[in-house]
Structure 1
């Protein structure tokens, strides 16, 4: 049963068929693929640029910045030329889609809201106890 949607918000199509995936392989321009040395140079260039972007993303992980987003951008650069990167990106997209669908499940959402509320209450109580006992002093300035 395939349900048609009018494109309105909150409407989910059941049994939606995913768009066909692009074929695996190099997406270099045709004139580059014709010459083996030129194609190898192209691949080396793509690899170096992708590596620079991925390394930048890894550096950004502990620092402020969108580290994971930059890493995935580097993987996307590699995926323009290398089958292994295309397969990794397909797997990642599939897992992200599955996680998003799971997160939209009403029971999972309800559980997450309850757990978040409990966590916020625990943190608020701990903060209230700290302020009651030590006042507004920073932890490194407490002398007790």
Structure 2
């Protein structure tokens, strides 16, 4: 059973999966292994080792993809999701990450922030265009490594 407060001083009580204060109650923390696995300690420990190794391989592949072409961050968070099926620390990290990404998305949709970002982008493009024009005026269409002292 979960309890929650909606900020008004009232406490809402709900069972897992039911509404608490207008939001879907989050699934409890802990292992999501099948019951027959949890019932046997050695089997559960080997299950956890297997989940950890698979998650580690996926996270490792994501880290390799960061400098190389590929969806590095997506793969890393996929590995974290694999770990979150078994480990509470990974579940907490994913909850924190989801909350921060949602907050950043809300900030990015703020009209003032969007105006500022568009203005800075326009200024940056003008600077790049001016520098490119100066380069073409001075050297023409020549690769930088072929420029002699002029």
Give the distance between the partners of 1:48 and 1:63, measured in 2 at CA. 23
Per the alignment, residue 126 of structure 2 pairs with 121
- Residue 99 of structure 2: which of 94, 98, 105 is its match? 94
Q: Within the alignment, does 1:57 sit opposite 2:62 as a pair?
A: yes
Q: Deviations over 1:73-131 (max 9, x none)?
A: 11000000000000000000000000000011100011011111111111111111111
Give the distance between the partners of 1:69 and 1:109, measured in 2 at CA. 25
TM-score normalised over the length of structure 1: 0.86
TM-score normalised over the length of structure 2: 0.83
Q: 1:26-37 residue pairs with structure 2 within 5 A? A: 26-37=31-42
- Residue 142 of structure 1: which of 111, 132, 147 is its match? 147
Per the alignment, residue 38 of structure 1 pairs with 43
Give the distance between the partners of 2:134 and 2:49, measured in 1 at CA. 59
Give the distance between the partners of 1:30 and 1:71, measured in 2 at CA. 28
- Residue 20 of structure 1: which of 17, 25, 37 is its match? 25
Give the distance between the partners of 1:76 and 1:135, measured in 2 at CA. 52
User: Cα RMSD (Å) of the superposition?
Assistant: 1.2
1:140 to partner: Cα distance: 1.0
How many residues are aligned here? 129
Give the distance between the partners of 1:19 and 1:133, measured in 2 at CA. 63
- Residue 79 of structure 1: which of 77, 84, 89 is its match? 84
1:17 to partner: Cα distance: 4.2
Moved over 2 A (4+): 16-19
Gaps of 5+ in 2: 1-20
